[in-house]
């Protein structure tokens, strides 16, 4: 059957009107260039700067029965085992600086870098920053100029932006996945001290840790660090450390530092609950509430007071204490940060100096006398160490900074960050006090420590 020209036109109108709106927007590609639209140019630019990181750690295996001469003939002497881990990294400086996750290289005795062209290099750990879970490596003994990615401004990232994740998942080789930014300020993740992450649905799997999250211009917007998964594989919820935090850590390493120096506020902050928001007359629970201030700190000198509500820093909104911690930690040292504060329902501005916390003599020592603290490294609690360990420096005292593997201190259950208040009734002010107290033989040890803000008292046998 044939239709006349007018009938065909009428039918076309009916079909057009009946078609859904989304179909009307579809069209056949108008050129070969449109058919070939691809992420390939971005990947080709970035991929040479994304590396595999191989870390090896020597571990001594100890069988308790091997310590007994009777059983030693069966079990032999303690042997060494090499534990290996695999992750990803990103070249961020042509001189061979690589950024990765701290947990990828933690405790490593040997680190190697593998490039996309299959070449391998030994690398040294230049800087480790457990607070951000970042580490900076440098390729050893090479005068070569390596391909490196540029940093993007992660604060300019928006929910819905397209991103690519590059890394080495499951050790299968370099892999690229794509997705969108699902959130730009996830603060309740519980991965690092700085709870402020980019969330993406680009597939991230084990082995991707330390890999690159890049935008469509090929710039680094984040370093992939963790996934939320019930199966161990990607479920579309991955987290990356924002590039603006990565830049701070890398800059410290490039400047020859072995630790990251960040501004010190000197005030304790707490979240605003719905009940507190009602009491303050807020429409919603937002901001960071000051609960205490150290008088000699930048916050104290600026006039910040307990009960003040910080609502923004340098014009950027503060949703909660985690947001403030991230924003403040990424500020360059020197100058001031402008805080918008609500005090007694009045708005005011407070200029806080961007200075590092003072680091008085730590006097670190390792306890070697026979006691429950045998094998623990302790230090005097300075403001800088308190900031590093997220402790209240007001009380001072002696803090455990390291617990040796297989030591008596570890077997007892002591942890990094435990503040030792007293031993056998003797109050501790400095590390020498603990060394003296543990040097005295005792059948019972009465110990009081502060852990997680709670005071714990225990009695242990000698």
Task: Tokens 């623990």: give the residue.
Answer: 376
CATH class of 267-353: mainly beta
Other Cβ atoms within 10 Å of 83 Cβ, number: 12
Does the fold of domain 365-461 match that of domain 40-259? no
For 432, the enclosing helix (H) or strand (E) is helix 431-438
Under DSSP, the state recorded for 358 is P
Contact (Cβ atoms closer than 8 angstroms) between residue 147 and residue 119: no
182-to-116, 160, 198, 231, 316 alpha-carbon distances in Å: 29, 6, 8, 21, 20
What is the set of active-site residues?
103, 133, 209
Closest among 127, 47, 43, 50 to 87, alpha carbons compared = 50
The full set of domain ranges for the chain reads: 40-259, 267-353, 365-461
Query: In the numeric block, which tokens belong to residue 354?
Result: 């961007």
Number of residues written out for the chain: 462
388: helix, strand or coil: helix
CA distance 44 to 270: 45
* 367: CB partners within 8 A, 6+ apart: 373, 374, 375, 376, 377, 378, 409, 434, 435, 438
CA distance 418 to 434: 13
How do the pLDDT tens digits run along the chain, 462 residues long?
333 433 333 333 333 333 444 445 667 777 877 767 788 999 999 999 999 999 988 765 555 545 555 445 544 555 566 667 789 999 999 999 999 999 999 888 899 999 999 999 999 999 999 889 999 999 998 889 999 999 999 999 999 999 999 998 877 788 899 999 998 887 766 667 777 889 998 888 888 889 999 999 999 999 998 766 555 555 668 899 999 999 999 999 999 988 898 999 999 999 999 999 988 888 899 999 999 998 889 999 999 999 999 999 999 999 999 999 999 999 999 999 999 999 988 999 999 999 998 877 888 999 988 888 999 999 998 888 888 888 877 767 899 999 988 888 988 899 999 999 999 988 998 999 999 988 888 888 999 999 988 888 888 876
Burial class from Cβ neighbours inside 10 Å (0-12, 13-18, 19+) for residue 167 reads buried
The CATH fold of domain 40-259: Thrombin, subunit H (2.40.10)
Contact (Cβ atoms closer than 8 angstroms) between residue 140 and residue 98: no
CA distance 222 to 239: 9
User: Following DSSP, what letter does each residue of 282-330 receive, concatenated?
Assistant: -SSS-SEEEEEE-TTSHHHHHT--TT-EEEEETTEE--SHHHHHHHHHT
For 254, the enclosing helix (H) or strand (E) is helix 243-254
CA distance 323 to 316: 10
85: helix, strand or coil: strand
Q: How many CA atoms lie within 13 A of 388 on its CB side?
A: 23
The CATH fold of domain 365-461: Pdz3 Domain (2.30.42)
Burial class from Cβ neighbours inside 10 Å (0-12, 13-18, 19+) for residue 185 reads buried
Q: How many CA atoms lie within 13 A of 362 on its CB side?
A: 16
């Amino acid at each position: 059957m044939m239709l006349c020209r007018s009938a065909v036109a009428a039918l076309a109108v009916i079909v057009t009107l009946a078609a859904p709106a989304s179909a009307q927007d579809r069209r056949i590609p108008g050129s070969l260039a449109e058919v070939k639209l691809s992420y390939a140019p971005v990947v080709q630019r970035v991929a040479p700067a994304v590396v595999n990181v191989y870390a090896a750690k020597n571990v001594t295996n100890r069988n308790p029965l091997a310590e007994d001469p009777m059983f030693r003939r069966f079990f032999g002497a303690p042997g060494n085992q090499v534990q290996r881990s695999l992750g990803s990294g990103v070249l961020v400086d042509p001189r061979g600086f690589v950024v990765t996750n701290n947990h990828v290289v933690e405790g490593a005795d040997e680190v190697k870098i593998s490039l996309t062209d299959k070449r391998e290099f030994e690398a040294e750990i230049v800087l480790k920053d457990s607070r951000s879970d970042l580490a900076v490596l440098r390729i050893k003994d090479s005068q070569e100029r390596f391909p490196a990615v540029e940093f993007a401004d992660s604060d300019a990232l928006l929910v819905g932006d397209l991103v690519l994740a590059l890394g080495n998942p499951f050790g299968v080789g370099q892999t690229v996945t794509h997705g969108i930014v699902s959130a730009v300020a996830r603060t309740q993740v519980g991965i690092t001290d700085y709870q402020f992450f980019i969330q993406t649905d680009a597939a991230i799997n084990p082995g991707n840790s330390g890999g690159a999250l890049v935008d469509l211009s090929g710039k680094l917007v984040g370093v992939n660090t963790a996934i939320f998964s019930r199966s161990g594989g990607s479920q579309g919820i991955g987290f990356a450390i924002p590039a603006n935090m990565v830049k701070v850590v890398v800059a410290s390493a490039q400047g020859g530092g072995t630790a990251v120096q960040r501004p010190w506020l000197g005030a304790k902050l707490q979240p605003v609950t719905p009940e507190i928001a009602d009491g303050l007359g807020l429409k919603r629970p937002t901001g960071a509430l000051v609960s205490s201030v150290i008088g000699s700190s930048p916050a104290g000198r600026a006039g910040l007071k307990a009960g003040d509500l910080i609502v923004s820093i340098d014009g950027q909104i503060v949703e909660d204490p985690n947001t403030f911690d991230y924003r403040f930690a990424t500020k360059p040292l020197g100058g001031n940060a402008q805080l918008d504060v609500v005090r007694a329902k009045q708005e005011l501005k407070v200029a806080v100096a961007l200075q590092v916390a003072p680091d008085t003599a730590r006097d670190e020592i390792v306890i070697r006398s026979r006691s429950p603290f045998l094998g623990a490294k302790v230090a005097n609690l300075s403001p800088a160490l308190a900031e590093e360990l997220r402790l209240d420096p007001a009380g001072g005292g002696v803090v455990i900074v390291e617990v040796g593997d297989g030591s008596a201190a570890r077997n007892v259950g002591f942890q990094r960050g435990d503040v030792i208040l007293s031993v056998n009734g003797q109050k501790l002010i400095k590390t020498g006090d603990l060394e003296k107290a543990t040097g005295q033989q005792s059948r019972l040890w009465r110990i009081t420590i502060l852990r997680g803000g709670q005071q714990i008292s225990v009695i242990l046998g000698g």
